[in-house]
Structure 1
Amino acid sequence: MSHPSFAPPGDAAHATPTVLIGAGGHAAALIEVIRAAGLLHPVGCLDQSATAPVLGVPVIGDEARLEALRHEGVAAVVVCIGHNATRLRWIGRARALGYALPVVAHPAAILSPSARLGAGSVVLPRAVLGARALAGEGTILNTGTIVEHDCELGHGVHVAPGAVLGGGVRVGDGALIGIGAALRPLVRVGREAVVGTGAAVVEDVADGATVGGVPARPLARE
């Protein structure tokens, strides 16, 4: 599994003018993370369907403005979209336009000095990323998640609130680990797999599979 563009958590210039892509609930959460960290200056959100400010940050147009803003002094992008594949597409678009893609981490998160997070990743309050853990680009470590030592997460992974990954877990690109799920050490979760809310994963999960229950078993996708 390749992990280009790794950066240490919090590797961003002070008060960098930043535009947010998305203006929903995830944007609100990340605006508070950005303000708590104090490293970026959110100048506005881009969204094709929203117009109301998000916690005081104005919506300044839709995503079509992204290229123009690069020439107006905006230097960084934070993608505030929960859908994994869509988030990665916008990260790629922002990179192609020359934007920085900072890691955004709340001060209340616990990040091991030996852990690494890919560009465009976000870490919410009380999340824990253990020793030598690796997370690819566009990772979401949501509120209260625990990703233990030597875990390896692919690109565009979302670990939902309260999920716990034991040591050495491998998670493929685009996978979703649901709220409160628990993964046994050393299990593997395939690309674009979904682990349901509260699931207890004790065996490997195939690419594209959806699992749930205690212990987790394959479920049919709706």
Structure 2
Amino acid sequence: MRTPPGSMRPGGRTARVRAAVLRAAGDALVENGVHGLDLADVASRAQVGKTTVYRRWGSVPGLVADLLDDMAEQSLPRSDTGSLLGDLTANARLVQRTLADPRQGVLFKAVIAAATCDARTAEALNRFYATRIEEWAPCVEAAARRGEVPPDTDPREVIRAVSAPLYYRLLASGDPLDEDIAERAAAAAATAARAGIYASGTG
């Protein structure tokens, strides 16, 4: 079966080329948005041949999808503070720092915009968030084992509840995205989880 463009993960020169191209693609997205993304421009920025970029990624959606996959690979590991509130606060602060970053915040806006009109990018975005949720879900499972939340609490819903208010501020309201907001989002999710809001059969 043919491997999708940009999906290989070999080492050596190929890995260096991929890293350079994805870094250049991220720069171009931040500067021009997805509609201004051009494979020839990315190749020039990365100082690689145009044919290399076209052969490996094939299209702008293919390049953006691989960029998202790379972002998932580079994500920081979850914290383990020993308490649900501590873990959720660490998660919220990580999301807040990422979205408030002048480069990363703009980059996320661009790829989310691209995902609304391209199925391949949407699939990559779904994989990215699924990866992040799976990485952090164990902190809720650990809280259930400690008796902090009901044993049938849905860990993924709790993690989604932490980041949802932060993404709302990034994409919809435009309100400030500071650490205080992150801590409030974590506290609200922890309080709801302890109250059984995310337990199966609730509602």
**Which structure is higher in RCO with an 8 Å CA cutoff and minimum separation 6?**
2
Higher helix content, 1 or 2: 2
Q: Same fold (TM over 0.5)?
A: no
